[in-house]
Amino acid sequence: MIHVYTDLLNSISGLFTAMMDSHLNHLMKYLDSVALILAIPTLISGIWGMNVGGLPGRTNRNGFWIIIMIASLLTIIWSIILKKKKYND
């Protein structure tokens, strides 16, 4: 009888551990997707924030808004791609 209860306890413990691992994997997949989405505008703003000459949009009055629109568009496209691949579920 003790062996039966021990086996039952071990199987329930293994099941609980497997469920927690699965939830942790889904959480990490979601957080990685969010980090990828946030990395795109961060990279673009970091490149255009450098104090060097010759950057596109430097002399244009609307250069700031053009860069913001490009970063937003790339972020939206990348989030749609990740959504279609089910990476942010």
Q: Residue 65: is its pLDDT beyond 80?
A: yes
Q: What is the mean pLDDT of residues 12-19?
A: 87
Residues 6+ apart with CB under 8 A from 16: none
Give the other-Cβ count within 10 Å of 39's Cβ.
12
Note the pLDDT tens digit of each residue in 18-59.
889 989 988 898 898 899 999 999 998 888 877 777 777 778
- Tell me what pLDDT residue 89 has: 64
| Nearest-angstrom CA–CA distance, 36 and 43 | 11
In this structure, the number of other CB atoms found within 10 A of the CB of residue 77 comes to 11
How big is the chain by its Cα radius of gyration, in Å?
Answer: 24
